[in-house]
Amino acid sequence: MEHVVIIGNGISGITAARHIRKQSDCKITVISGETDHFFSRTALMYVYMGHMKFEHTKPYEDWFWEKNRIELKRAWVKTVDFEEKKLYFRLPNDTDDKEAKVGGSISYDKLILALGSTPNKFGWKGQNLKGVQGLYSYQDLESLEEITPQIKKAVIVGGGLIGVELAEMLHSKEIDVTFLVRESSFWNAVMPPEESVFISRHIKENHINLKFSSELDEIIGDENGQVKAIRTKSGEEIECQFVGLTVGVSPNIGLLKVPQGNMIGREKPAFVLGVGGIKLNRGILVNEYLETNIPDVYAVGDCVEHENPQVGRKNIEQIWYTGRIMGETVARTICGKPTKYQPGIFFNSAKFFDIEYQTYGQVPAELPVDTKTFYWEHSSGRICVRINYQADSAERRPKAVTGVNTFGIRMRHEVWDEWISSGKSIEYVLENLPKANFDPEFFKQYEKEILEKYNAETGSSLTLKSKKGLFSKIF
Amino acid sequence: MLQKLGLFIFLAAFMLFVGTLGMNNYTLTNEILEKNFKEDALLDAKIELASMVDQNYSNSYTFTAELSEGINQLNKVYNAQQAWDKKIYEDTILTIVKSSANGYLVDNKGIMFLLTFGLAIFGALLFIIPEAQKPAGIKNNGIYFNPAMTRKWLGIGIGTFLILFYIALYFKPQYIANWTMLVDPVSKLINGGEASRWFMYGFLYTISVLVMGIRYIIKYRHSKYQIFRTLSIMFFQTCIAFILPEIMSNLNLPSADLKNMWPLDYSFFFNYRIDKLLASGAFGIFLLVWGIVLFVVGVPVMVYFFGKRWYCSWVCGCGGLAETLGDPFRQLSNKSLKAWKIERYLIYGVLAFAIIMTIGVLYTYFTGSYNLLGFIPTESLKSSYGFLIGSIFSGVVGTGFYPLMGNRVWCRFGCPLAAYLGIIQRFKSKFRITTNGGQCISCGNCSTHCEMGIDVRAYAQKGQDIVRSSCVGCGVCSAVCPRGVLNLENAETGTRVMIAPDVLLGNLMEK
């Protein structure tokens, strides 16, 4: 029986395992050193804030794995031998008894690398002090929980999604949070200026001390190796007992970079690329089929770098659902139906304290040539919508919508996916905007106000042509 | 600060409330016995209770226990004689205890009412209302660090109190006679008489729904669905369940909770109720027809259009208490597949029990025979349903277990009406919870905070609509979802996504 081994029990590795099981009878083993069972990484913040327990982050009950004959192994893989198709739980030359105990090896016929990612550290002085960490793994949560009682003031470096989540988490424990953002406005490398200002305002509303245009210079420790302050590049010193590093994540490929010398008694050439000759760049390089350069070795999820990404997609895209889709895709390939990784229209979502954000299609920070934009913001300053569309002069699909950002109004994925992929015009979309509304019943609707703003700006006289959601079909 | 003060006031008032049970002196007089015993039993009572008469008791427990024991002896004799009509029931004992009481509480019911109920409400509101100053949005911070909400000592303590309360209320009301005394002023105001235990219970129930309803509205004030739904619950409990029946009996009409229906209202077809309605002229007939139309026509039609939520989380009293008083415990419902299996056996078992029991009762009513099909004793069916389901399951377990098994224990495992509504919701309804394409991140907020123990995430993460007979449509899964994935919707029945798509939206690989 063919043995498929998956390193990593996150969303991509587990999705691959589940879908392989659906399509095949082969032996499946999932290895993780992080936790015994698959959990939702995105929910760690809720565990910290007391919204749920760790148990609740597990999408499947513990009996699920045995029932579906997916073997789980709790261990860190230390060495991969691609030639012998073997994984070792220790380093080649390690003679430490403790290491040897978790020793042993597993052979595979097919290997899926789902190694995830790791928080970036940019070589700051003091970045390894106690009380300095990112927030990615279960272990990160544990160490944060452990140190929390001692934190009165915290500094978060880097303004992205995890940064905001970490700020919200610390804030929930009544910790003073200072947020250092290198840019002049929050997340403005990703968000257009209005949205960036909009989110910044909301973060400040929640009593987070946002400092723009300030960069971390060094982290200062006390005599016990515990962080006591940070210094910014402008020389300002900020006292703190905790530093959260949230300056993005990178593919977690350290395992594959460990130098190979005399490996389990055999001479091996030192490969330029990675262990056993696997091609690495910033991530593990894969083709459209998620195959690495080594036969029978695949890579999925955060650790992947696509050699030929689709138009409109980045070569490294660390999102929950891209990991899930890669898992689904590679399962087919492994089960004998070679399938290309083909994510559709881009989408994503997040929550900034109390404001939910969704996006469909492309809404880059800087407006591309030949693209126009329409932005509406409610007077409360807590709801806004931006729709990008092709200019009249565009060669292809003039006026077709290309993307939307929505804050404080939930929108239907299905509807926007259809509008963007079929190139519906901005007029059509605005007249039918209630169709995309996914807010709960009785919520106030703003489509009319949005439409009126567009009419006023463009001198058009559009009117609403449909009603909200599925409900309209009854009456 | 204000909140701490509120909590302190509430706790002080609560302790005083518990303390009132020990207040008063008690003296049983022949006069009291003469008032409460039928002539043929009076002599027996005077002999049996002779040692108590005209004695002053300063301990309410000793008095009540001694009195109960004496009456118990009498009942034993009557049982042996098969003199059923002479038997003395709890309500009589309760009245005797009440009449025998004298002391500060008896003389100052109004003041004591204000010091207990009044201060408790004031303290609770002082604790609750400042929450509105925080920004609106989901604030579940610290739920799992709170000993009341996680089956720790405080949760177990609250559960124990509730369980004891229900046992006393249903089976030994004489021990909480002083609590009925506290609400006498309210009862006098509304219906002119002294408070029965059921009046006291109804009042306490309504106050709980109102005060905790305000808490709920503040907590979920970013959602109009939640606000409207809670106002609806508060209205139905206060006006339809509590005040209207009192007005009806003031007008000498048969009183009824117009929103309650069979089989939740399991005694609807009991002979004494049918007789009373039939004897009350046109209005009685109206109540009888209304009660039947409600479950024969009302349920299927309303569930078809809106799902069972129209009743369970917008109208029902049990649901109302669960959604308000019970909200802090919603996360304690068990989400495992095993719990779902147990749930299905139990709830449909109770529905079957209710149907058979009612058929038996009606059979006896129309034929006069006490044996359905010749061997099923209808009277014991009736009394065992009342005891096991009506009292133990719905009351003692249903509410007493809030802090242990979540706030919908009764609704999920026991309510025969919920079972009936659920069957229609599952097979013929426009209602479903829609999932939004590929946006789910499997975080588990929805499942964690589902009071019915539905593993909502299991559906959301594979793009399948949530169509479950148990879903009461409270809307909290949708409210706590950080990614806007879940929405309660009504549309053509055929459009419900009952089977998860092979490939979720956002993935262009072949289906």
Question: CA-nearest residue of chain A to B134?
Answer: A206
Confidence at B35, pLDDT banded by 50, 70, 90: very high
In chain A, where the domains are located? 3-118+251-334, 132-246, 347-473
pLDDT tens over chain A, length 475 residues: 899 999 999 999 999 999 999 999 999 999 999 999 999 999 999 999 999 999 999 999 999 999 999 999 999 998 888 888 999 887 666 666 554 455 688 999 999 999 999 999 999 999 999 999 999 999 999 999 999 999 999 999 987 899 999 999 999 999 999 999 999 999 998 999 999 999 999 999 999 999 999 999 999 999 999 999 999 999 999 999 999 999 999 999 988 876 543 344 444 433 335 556 888 888 999 999 999 999 999 999 999 999 999 988 999 999 999 999 999 999 999 999 999 999 999 999 999 999 999 999 999 999 999 999 999 999 999 999 999 999 998 888 999 999 999 999 999 999 999 999 999 999 999 999 999 999 999 999 999 999 999 999 999 999 999 988 765 444 3
Average pLDDT over all residues of chain B: 95
| Strand arrangement of the beta sheet that strand A70-74 belongs to | A70-74, A27-32, A3-7, A110-113, A297-299
Residue of A18, A203, A288, A413 to mutate, testing the B interface (most B Cβ within 10 Å of its Cβ): A413
Question: CA-nearest residue of chain B to A171?
Answer: B141
Q: How far apart are the C-alpha atoms of B254 and B251, rounded to whole Å?
A: 9
User: CB B458 to CB A59 under 8 A?
Assistant: yes
Is B404:B149 a contact under the CB 8 Å cutoff?
no
User: CB B457 to CB A51 under 8 A?
Assistant: no
User: CB A444 to CB B434 under 8 A?
Assistant: no
Across chain B, which distance is largest between two alpha carbons, in Å? 91
Q: B433 to chain A: which residues are within 8 Å by CB? A: none
Question: CA-nearest residue of chain B to A413?
Answer: B437
Q: How far apart are the C-alpha atoms of A354 and A341, rounded to whole Å?
A: 34
The CATH architecture one would assign to domain A3-118+251-334 is 3-Layer(bba) Sandwich (3.50)
**Smallest Cα distance from A118 to chain B, Å:** 19
Task: Supply the ipTM of this predicted assembly.
Answer: 0.94
Confidence at B472, pLDDT banded by 50, 70, 90: very high
Task: Name the residue facing B483 among A59, A324, A349 (closest C-beta).
Answer: A349
Question: CA-nearest residue of chain A to B220?
Answer: A354
Chains A–B, number of C-beta pairs less than 8 Å apart: 176
Q: What is the pLDDT of residue B396?
A: 94
**Smallest Cα distance from A307 to chain B, Å:** 19
Which tokens go with B393?
């399951």
User: CB A40 to CB B441 under 8 A?
Assistant: yes
Fold matches, A3-118+251-334 and A347-473: no
Is A384:A328 a contact under the CB 8 Å cutoff?
no
**Smallest Cα distance from A474 to chain B, Å:** 6
**Smallest Cα distance from A53 to chain B, Å:** 7
Q: Which candidate, A351, A381, A51, places its Cα nearest to that of B476? A: A51
Is A12:A324 a contact under the CB 8 Å cutoff?
yes
Residue of B508, B510, B511 to mutate, testing the A interface (most A Cβ within 10 Å of its Cβ): B508
Q: What is the pLDDT of residue A98?
A: 54
Question: CA-nearest residue of chain B to A344?
Answer: B506
> What pLDDT, in 10s, does the model give residues B298-349?
999 999 999 999 999 999 999 999 999 999 999 999 999 999 999 999 999 9
Task: Name the residue facing B448 among A56, A350, A356 (closest C-beta).
Answer: A56
Q: What is the pLDDT of residue B1?
A: 86
Which tokens go with A38?
């698959």
Going by DSSP bridges, is the β-strand pair A237-239/A242-245 parallel, antiparallel, or unpaired? unpaired
Is A246:A166 a contact under the CB 8 Å cutoff?
yes
Is A37:A79 a contact under the CB 8 Å cutoff?
no
Q: A444 to chain B: which residues are within 8 Å by CB? A: 224
- Beta strands per DSSP E along A287-369: 297-299, 304-306, 347-352, 355-361
User: CB A50 to CB B443 under 8 A?
Assistant: no
Q: What is the pLDDT of residue A280?
A: 87
Topology classification of domain B430-495: Alpha-Beta Plaits (3.30.70)
User: What is the share, in percent, of chain B residues with pLDDT greater than 90?
Assistant: 91
> What pLDDT, in 10s, does the model give residues A49-90?
999 999 999 999 999 999 999 999 999 998 888 888 999 887
Residue of A48, A56, A411 to mutate, testing the B interface (most B Cβ within 10 Å of its Cβ): A56
Asked if residue B25 has pLDDT above 50, the reply is yes
Q: What is the pLDDT of residue B342?
A: 98
> Cα dihedral sign for B192, B195, B198, B200?
positive
In chain B, where the domains are located? 25-102, 430-495
Average pLDDT over residues B444-473: 98
Q: A321 to chain B: which residues are within 8 Å by CB? A: 438-439, 441, 504, 506
User: CB B439 to CB A206 under 8 A?
Assistant: no
Topology classification of domain A347-473: Enolase-like; domain 1 (3.30.390)
> What pLDDT, in 10s, does the model give residues B190-233?
988 899 999 999 999 999 999 999 999 999 999 999 999 999 99
List of residues 6+ apart from B72 with CB closer than 8 A? none
Which tokens go with A446?
């703003």
- Among 3.30.43.10, 2.30.30.240, 3.50.50.60, 3.40.50.1110, name the CATH number for the domain at A132-246: 3.50.50.60
Going by DSSP bridges, is the β-strand pair A117-119/A355-361 parallel, antiparallel, or unpaired? unpaired
> What pLDDT, in 10s, does the model give residues A415-465?
999 999 999 999 999 999 999 999 999 999 999 999 999 999 999 999 999
User: CB B484 to CB A349 under 8 A?
Assistant: yes
Q: A473 to chain B: which residues are within 8 Å by CB? A: 491-492, 495
Question: What residue type is B15 in one-letter code?
Answer: M
User: CB A438 to CB B436 under 8 A?
Assistant: yes
Q: B475 to chain A: which residues are within 8 Å by CB? A: 440
Going by DSSP bridges, is the β-strand pair A237-239/B431-435 parallel, antiparallel, or unpaired? unpaired
Q: A439 to chain B: which residues are within 8 Å by CB? A: 487
> What pLDDT, in 10s, does the model give residues B124-178?
999 999 999 999 999 999 999 999 999 999 999 999 999 999 999 999 999 999 9
In the Cβ-directed half-sphere of A89, how many Cα atoms lie within 13 Å? 18
Compute CA distances A173 → A166, A176, B503, whole Å: 11, 9, 40
